[in-house]
Amino acid sequence: MPAYVVFMRDETLDPVELAEYFAGVDASFEGHEMKLLADYGALETLEGDEIEGAVILEFKDMDAARAWYRSPEYQAPAQHRFRGARYRGFIVAGA
């Protein structure tokens, strides 16, 4: 069953740190089968607080999504994201 990693950016804190994240994140997908479904495209808030942007990634299952997120290859650039913006993120199993 597919699994989806969803990130919602609430607020940018440091654009330089965020740029470092974006410069390094693509390399983290090497060796991880992933499909990019949404990448900061146009959005419309239906409920709750406005967000600055969203990303949705599809992995083959929950284990594959966790393996990518927890990998050193992702966690290294993620440190820049943590300093660069306030995000919410989660993994959800598909139907």
Q: pLDDT tens, 25-84? A: 999 999 999 999 999 999 999 999 999 999 999 999 999 999 999 999 999 999 999 999
- Residue 4 C-beta-side C-alpha neighbours within 13 Å: 13
Which residues have CB under 8 Å from 22's CB, separation 6+? none
C-alpha 22/C-alpha 7 separation (Å) is 14
pLDDT, tens digit, 9 for 90 and up, residues 11-27: 999 999 999 999 999 99
Predicted TM-score (pTM) of this structure: 0.93
Residue 4 vs residues 13, 23, 64, 77: alpha-carbon distances, Å:
26, 22, 10, 20
Mean pLDDT on 88-95: 96
All domains of the chain in start order, with CATH: 3-93 (3.30.70.100)
| CB-count exposure of residue 30 (10 Å: 0-12, 13-18, 19+) | exposed
Q: What is the pLDDT of residue 70?
A: 98
pLDDT, tens digit, 9 for 90 and up, residues 31-44: 999 999 999 999 99
Q: What is the pLDDT of residue 89?
A: 98
Work out the end-to-end distance of the chain between its first and last CA atoms, rounded to an integer number of angstroms. Answer: 7
Q: What is the pLDDT of residue 8?
A: 98
Q: What is the pLDDT of residue 16?
A: 98
CB of 51 within 8 A of CB of 45?
Answer: yes
